[in-house]
Amino acid sequence: MATSVYERVREAIVRGEFAPGEALGEMALARKFGTSRTPVREALHRLEIEAIVERSARGVRVRVSSPEEILDIYEVRITLESAAARAAASRATELDRVRLRAAQDAMIATGDSPVERADANRVFHEAVWQASHSATLVDLLHRLNVHLIRYPSTTLAHGNRWKEVLREHEELLEAIEQRDPQRAHDIAEHHMAGAREVRLRMYAEKENRPES
């Protein structure tokens, strides 16, 4: 039950049902999800460990993001994704390359839904991580992704980012297929730096948007 409530609260935060800074009362959440306070308390504890919620004077609230935090997360992600791409170019098996090509083809075939695009993009990146054959990198990247779920609006829906991503993924895949570690590293580094810049622009646009 605790795991179920945890997943439901987490999903509600990801979907934006609870705004950044909004208080999350145990009683209110228990009523919303039809459970007792104990599994809610355990769920909030797990989410606090994952830095999705935080303690405040009013109790527990959804964590508030900042440009500094975005920069911090992406600086680490750039390093890890680049390392995974380099390792994948050196260690990818034929099966890994087949999976990467299938993931890229699935992205190309994806429609206009931001959710579907984000899912397809995640599958491609996870295929790169697995192709690195580095259990440490895979673990760290999965842990880092937890921090990104608090940003439910995908960068893939911003401007021409989707077309850029498809092109950059194709370039990365070619570097891995050609076993060119340095090129794979550089492409992944540029790719994630671009994602960081888009995320910062999205944050700025949201901050400058007039209240309705």
- How confident is the model at residue 212, as a pLDDT? 45
pLDDT of residue 14: 75
Kindly state the average pLDDT of the residues 190-194: 96
Q: How far apart are CA 72 and CA 82, in angstroms?
A: 16
- Residues 199 and 205: their CA atoms lie apart, in Å, by 10
Burial class of residue 192, CB neighbours in 10 A (0-12, 13-18, 19+): buried
Average pLDDT over residues 120-136: 97
Cα 112 to its chain centre, rounded Å, is 19
Give the span between the Cα atoms of 137 and 134, in whole angstroms: 5
Across the range 178-186, mean pLDDT stands at: 98
* Residue 152: band (very low, low, confident or very high) from pLDDT cuts 50, 70, 90: low
Cα separation, 68 vs 77, in Å, equals: 14
Residue 36 reports pLDDT greater than 90: yes
Q: What tokens appear for 208 in the block?
A: 């400058």
What is this structure's pTM?
0.79
Bridge partners (DSSP) of residue 62 are: 53
- pLDDT exceeds cutoff 50 at 172: yes
CA nearest to 165, candidates 128, 190, 201, 132: 190
